[in-house]
Amino acid sequence: MRIDKYLKVSRLIKRRTVAKDVCVGEKISINGRLAKPSAEVKIGDRIVLEFANRVIEVQVLSTPNSVKANEAQTLYELIRDERRTES
């Protein structure tokens, strides 16, 4: 599954177009490598999302094409969720 679609299906990012823009902005990495929107995600991959004041790292547990909102968090395991403070 494409990373932009995975981020939307898993509800890590609300819209696929936003997920695409974040990938293009080089804020997403898969297994330590910067990800383009078309990068493939597989079970076991580690995804790091870098936002302005937050870093989220997850491990992919499954990649279904669609899932109900209340089941979205079952698609990944949260490894790290850090808030950045500006000094």
pLDDT tens profile 6-24: 999 999 999 999 999 999 9
For residues 86 and 53, the answer to whether their CB atoms sit within 8 Å is yes
Mean pLDDT on 74-81: 94
Q: What is d(CA 57, CA 9) in angstroms, rounded to the nearest whole number?
A: 16
pLDDT in tens, 21-75: 999 999 999 999 999 999 999 999 999 999 888 999 999 999 998 899 899 999 9
Q: What is the DSSP letter of 18?
A: H
For residues 75 and 63, the answer to whether their CB atoms sit within 8 Å is yes
Q: What residue ranges do the domains of the chain occupy?
A: 3-83
Count other Cβ atoms within 10 Å, centred on residue 87.
3
Write down the pLDDT at residue 58: 97
Class of domain 3-83: alpha beta
